[in-house]
Amino acid sequence: MTTETSATSSSKPLDGRVAVITGASSGIGEASAEHLASLGAKVAVLARRADRLDELVARIGKNGGAAVAIAVDVTDAAAVQAAADRVEAELGAADLILNNAGVMLPAPVEELRADQWQRQIDLNISGLMHVIGAFTPQLVRAAGERGVADLINTSSSAAQNLYPTFAVYAGTKAFVSHLSKHLRAELGPKNVRVSAIEPGIVGTELQDHVTDAGASAWLEGSKESVDWLRSDDIAEIVGFIASRPLRVNLPQVFIMPTAQAS
Ligand code: NDP
């Protein structure tokens, strides 16, 4: 059935939608899962930490929402495909993907932290692609049946701005942003809206994984002059993107803390 917008026929704007959120055990993904569920979507929450996902599912259920937890490492293509099959069997074809799992490991390039380069590439690029590969057939099918589907990829302001020592992370996010533009050109005609969200600094666990002292000091120091974004700020934007009328696509959403200059 094709409708102008689900908001016209139900009390919640995402009623009837099936959302999949990767990186849902903390930060932006966790907040987005709760928010999308509050807007009426059934949500599948994916990440590696099963205990955190179970707590999230219980919280969503307590607030009247519907959620399933799927513990999965998105760098494992076969495991992501199995998760996609499970989503379709339990909830129906996914029509909203927040492709969000990521890691940020800045370090001066001369330190040759090839292990950290690889971790970022494996998760931020290959993991993101595994999710796209496993779920695109469902998105296209759902868009054909329901009139619309959303693929929202989490990029970063680092895809646009220059941050010394963040080169590899920024490179992975530039991949995400450019890929999203191309996928939009390909999938838009099939009623799949593709968006890249590009936040500046958001206070999450992302910063806790940083091992480079210089980058940690820069991040910590920025707190003195910048009121960092919060995960809920991004979650609300994700909900906004997905609840627009079907003719409206926001391909690229750049979101900065007001006082973060670049
Ligand atoms: P968090 O560290 O809080 O969240 C990262 C999420 O990714 C966690 O849920 C983590 O769960 C999951 N994850 C990590 N590795 C894997 C894996 N191999 N398989 C499945 N899930 C995995 O950080 P954020 O919420 O900030 O990050 C979310 C996204 O936002 C990232 O893509 C990040 O690059 C991007 N971003 C963040 C910004 C910020 O300042 N915070 C700014 C711009 C973009 P688990 O460990 O349980 O698997």
Q: Express each pLDDT in 72-109 by its tens digit.
A: 999 999 999 999 999 999 999 999 999 999 999 999 99
Report whether residue 206 contacts ligand 1, using a CB cutoff of 6 Å: yes
Distance 23 CA to ligand 1 centre (A): 5
Q: Look over the chain and give the mean of its residue pLDDT values, rounded to a whole number.
A: 96
**pLDDT at residue 189 above 60?**
yes
Using alpha carbons, list the distances in angstroms from residue 113 to 26, 138, 165.
26, 37, 11
What is the spatial distance between Cα 168 and Cα 34, in angstroms, rounded to a whole number?
A: 31
Residue having the nearest C-alpha atom to atom 18 of ligand 1: 73
Q: Considering only CA atoms, which of 133, 130, 96, 128 is closest in space to residue 19?
A: 96
Indicate the pLDDT class of residue 5, thresholds 50, 70 and 90: very low
CB atoms < 10 A from the CB of 186, how many?
11
Class of domain 3-255: alpha beta
pLDDT digits (tens, 9 = 90+) for 210-231: 999 999 999 999 999 999 999 9
Selecting among 169, 180, 237, 243, the annotated active-site residue is: 169
169 classed as catalytic: yes
The answer to whether the beta carbons of residues 24 and 33 sit under 8 Å apart is: yes
Strands 192-199 and 252-255: parallel
**pLDDT at residue 124 above 80?**
yes
Ligand 1 atom closest to 157 (CA): 43
Ligand 1 atom closest to 25 (CA): 9
Mutate to test the pocket of ligand 1, among 22, 25, 76, 238 (most ligand atoms within 8 A of CB): 25
pLDDT digits (tens, 9 = 90+) for 221-258: 999 999 999 999 999 999 999 999 999 999 999 999 99
**pLDDT at residue 135 above 50?**
yes
**pLDDT at residue 10 above 80?**
no
Report whether residue 83 contacts ligand 1, using a CB cutoff of 6 Å: no
CB atoms < 10 A from the CB of 178, how many?
13
Q: Which pairs with CB-CB distance under 8 Å and at least 24 residues apart come from 138-141?
A: 138/84, 138/87, 138/88, 138/93, 138/94, 138/95, 139/93, 139/94, 139/95, 139/97, 139/187, 139/192, 140/187, 140/190, 140/192, 141/93
Indicate the pLDDT class of residue 9, thresholds 50, 70 and 90: very low
